Amino acid sequence: MCGRFALVASSNDIEQEFGVSGVGPIARYNIAPSQEILTIVGNGNARVAMASIWGLRRSDGGLLINIRSETAAGRPHIRRLLEHGRCIIPASGFYEWVGPKQPYFLRTHSGLMGFAGILVRERDPASGKLVLRSAILTRAADPTLAHLHNRMPVIVPRALYGDWLSPTFEGDDVLRHICAGGPIPLQWYRVSPRVGNVANDDPSLVEPSPDSTR
């Protein structure tokens, strides 16, 4: 699963990686569910950066922050979003916990990655305003990461950003293609348990712990 992630990037980094403009520098080290996140959507042949709230509303009042890619197409509501509401959620890396207390930070060597996400527009019951809400698709973890967690976000290869965002392609087909590809190399290391408190949001959260070996 993915319950926390970070996004630390300059405007140029985001533009170069995701092909969008007008996004200012971002330095967020502890992004949590229900918070506003950067979201990339397709708009014809272009890509647009928008803000969404991380988590789809469930009928019981909770938030659906992760959706299993293996069963997404079998759920009618999710399948509709998979066809008409695909998005990319930029990240510098994500956190996973081993046991109750030891977090790890996982990142790519290139610095930025794009999670496969889905997006829905709905009316906020409190304000009455239309808002965008998003969720991250997940997959079985690569065997090299299984000792950390058995699930991980679906990371869209850069070469497939266009296919994932294009309405020309069937969402389920593109998702299977992404998941069937080889693993995207990740590096990981222990970080401070301070990341467990959502009030903490500073650069030290993504720095290796002194005893980290990887």
Please write down the HEC assignment for all residues of the chain.
Answer: CCCCEEEEECHHHHHHHHCCCCCCCEEEEEECCCCEEEEEEEECCEEEEEEEEECEECCCCCEECEEECCCHHHCHHHHHHHHHCEEEEEECEEEEEECCCEEEEEECCCCCEEEEEEEEEEECCCCCCEEEEEEEEEEECCHHHCCCCCEEECECCHHHHHHHHCCCCCHHHHHHHHHHCCCCCCEEEECCHHHHCCCCCCHHHHCCCCCCCC
Residue 202 is part of a domain; what is its CATH number? 3.90.1680.10
Q: Does 213 map to a domain?
A: no
Domain assignment present for 146: yes
Q: Flag whether 212 is in a domain.
A: no
Q: How many domains does the chain have?
A: 1
The per-residue pLDDT string of the chain (214 residues; one tens digit each, 9 = 90 and over) reads 789 999 999 999 999 999 999 999 999 999 999 999 999 999 988 999 999 999 999 888 899 999 999 999 999 999 999 999 999 999 999 999 998 789 999 999 889 999 999 999 988 888 888 999 999 999 999 888 888 999 999 999 999 999 999 999 998 999 999 999 877 889 999 999 999 999 999 999 999 998 765 5
33 within some domain? yes
Quick check: is 211 in a domain?
no
**Whole domain around residue 22: which residue ranges?**
5-206
